[in-house]
Amino acid sequence: MNASPTTPLHPWTFDELVREGVALIPAHAPAWTDHNPSDPGITLVELLAFFAEAFVYRLSRVTPEARLEFLRLLRGAHWSGWRNLQGASGAVIDAAVDQAVRELGQCECAITVSDFEALAMEAARDALGPASPVQARCFAGVDLERAMDSARMPDTRAHVTVVVLPREELDAEAIARLCAQVRERLAPRCLLTTRLHVVGPLYLHLGFGARIALCPGADRRQVHAAIDANLQQRVGSWGGEARAAAADVSSSTTLIRVGDITGVIDGTEGVDYVEDVFVSTLGTRAAGPSDASARVGVQVGIHSTPGVDARLGVTTPTGAQRLQRDDAGRLAAILLQPWEVARLQMAPESLAWIDAQAPGTDPASGEASDEA
């Protein structure tokens, strides 16, 4: 309960405090039956009530001068601004005290993961401007400047990596400049033994294939663009709904489940149904139709031709262990390292479009119409 300098913090008087204390005696000391003023115990109750009333009276009447002295203690002996507040009202001094407390509560040293992230985002915003949203993630015991794969990562217990991710994609030079500015701000605030690394976004590009049936009148290009946008919004960022929901709490990795991908595609406007969703390309950079190094190997249940649209195995640096399969050998999920950001799109060369059946066509024939 907040009180003004003229309003008591508690309305109880001496007599009310004594009555409350005597009323509690039967509950805590049933053998104490003499409640007359001559009883020594009642004298103690009255003494405690007297001091309680006096303390509450003093507590609710803290003067502006006392608040100003408290503010001087917060600011330190070197602070001379207290002279400008002499004679000010209690509300003005209270506002100055609140401001001092907020300034003292600001993070100055980077110790915990949240400290690194808060300071990194502050530095990145200063470098990019308030109109450019940015995120930051900190990973203790990781050196992402030397190794991207935790399975091959050396002993890095003293290392801390901060990944800076602007919402708008920047070129390599701009990212390098931003990381240097963030590191310059963070380095003086780290503990003596900390080995700090600041890197830009680490993308994992995933190209998907599928058989997609269109609704009548739907345009292939518009549906394709809408699917890519929905995939990126739902799965392809640190704030994505599917990434947050698919976090594997038993490890530091994240799973992008094929079922989630299927649901996003199926929920896109213009899509009637989708089937046979699979990963066609996988790499740390965007793969074009002629980029054979990013093609995923032959997969169970997926029609592919080795050397044309697939390879016999996966030997890319991203690793075959990223593809998690079920007991039947079908792809179930794609594993992401916690510092990676997924870039998802439907690979045009891996899509099979099933257009709406023309009037009079037998749906059971399974023949796709050329009209779209």
How many residues are recorded in the chain?
372
pLDDT digit of tens for each residue in the chain (372 aa)?
444 444 444 568 899 999 999 999 999 999 999 999 899 999 999 999 999 988 888 776 778 888 888 888 888 878 888 878 888 887 888 888 888 888 777 778 888 888 999 999 989 998 888 788 888 889 888 888 876 544 455 667 889 999 998 887 788 899 999 999 999 999 999 988 899 999 988 888 888 888 899 999 888 899 999 998 888 777 655 444 333 333 332 335 578 888 888 899 999 999 999 988 888 877 776 555 445 555 565 454 455 544 444 444 444 445 556 777 777 777 788 887 778 888 888 888 888 888 765 444 444 344 444 443
Query: Does any domain span residue 351?
Result: yes
- Claim: this prediction has a pTM higher than 0.95: no
Q: Look at residue 328 and tell me if it is in a domain.
A: yes
CB 278 within 8 A of CB 261: no
Residue 195's CB is within 10 A of a number of other CB atoms, namely 13
The answer to whether residue 285 sits within a structural domain is: yes
What's the structural domain count of the chain? 3
Domain limits for position 287: 203-365
Same domain, 223 and 350: yes
Tokens coding 124? 């990145």
**Residue 370 is assigned to a structural domain of this protein:** no
Instruction: Report the distance separating Cα 264 and Cα 234, nearest Å.
Output: 8
User: DSSP alpha helices (H): ranges in the chain?
Assistant: 14-23, 25-28, 40-59, 64-75, 90-104, 113-128, 172-186, 220-234, 241-245, 258-266
Task: Read off the amino acid at residue 169.
Answer: E
Instruction: For CA atoms 178, 184, 190, 196, give the dihedral sign.
Output: positive
- Strands 134-140 and 331-336 turn out to be unpaired
Q: At what angle do helices 258-266 and 220-234 cross, to 10 degrees?
A: 130
The residue assigned the tokens 């500015």 is: 181
Dihedral (CA of 138, 142, 146, 151) sign? negative
Q: Which of residues 104, 135, 164 is at a domain's end?
A: 104
Do 211 and 341 lie in a common domain?
Answer: yes
Q: Which string of DSSP letters, residue by residue, matches 35-98? A: -STTSHHHHHHHHHHHHHHHHHHHHTT--HHHHHHHHHHHH-TT--GGGGGTT--HHHHHHHHH
Same domain, 213 and 351: yes
Same domain, 282 and 175: no
Q: Same domain for 272 and 188?
A: no
**Is 7 part of any domain?**
no
- CB-CB contact of 150 with 132 (8 Å): no
Amino acid (one-letter) located at 209? G
DSSP 8-state secondary structure symbol assigned to residue 25:
H
Last residue of a domain, one of 69, 104, 139: 104
Q: How far is CA 97 from CA 2, 67, 77, 93, 302, in A?
A: 15, 8, 15, 6, 68
Measuring CA to CA, how many Å separate 198 from each of 67, 121, 132, 142, 264?
Answer: 44, 12, 19, 11, 33
* Contact (Cβ atoms closer than 8 angstroms) between residue 242 and residue 260: yes
User: Last residue of a domain, which of 165, 200, 235?
Assistant: 200
Burial (CB count <10 Å: 0-12, 13-18, 19+), residue 3: middle
Same domain, 196 and 215: no
The pLDDT score that the predictor gives to residue 85 is: 85
Same domain, 191 and 214: no
Q: Do 230 and 265 sit in the same domain of this protein? A: yes
In a domain, 4, yes or no: no
In this structure, are residues 143 and 159 in contact, taking their beta carbons and an 8 Å threshold?
yes
**88 with 125, same domain?**
no
Q: Which domain CATH number covers 191?
A: 3.30.300
Residue 324 CB partners (closer than 8 Å, separation 6+):
255, 331, 332, 333, 334, 335
CA–CA separation, 207 and 54 (whole Å): 75
Separation CA 22–CA 3 (nearest Å): 28
Q: Is 225 found in the same domain as 181?
A: no
pLDDT at residue 116 in the model:
92
Report angle CA 249, 254, 260 to the nearest 5 degrees.
Answer: 105
CA distance 358 to 216: 9
Answer whether residue 372 is part of any domain. Answer: no
User: From the centroid of its chain, how far is CA 56?
Assistant: 44
Nearest to 96 by CA among 75, 112, 114, 77: 75
Is the domain of 208 the same as that of 357?
yes
Q: Is residue 276 a part of any domain in this protein?
A: yes
CB 282 within 8 A of CB 314: yes
Task: Mark whether 21 and 48 lie in a shared domain.
Answer: yes
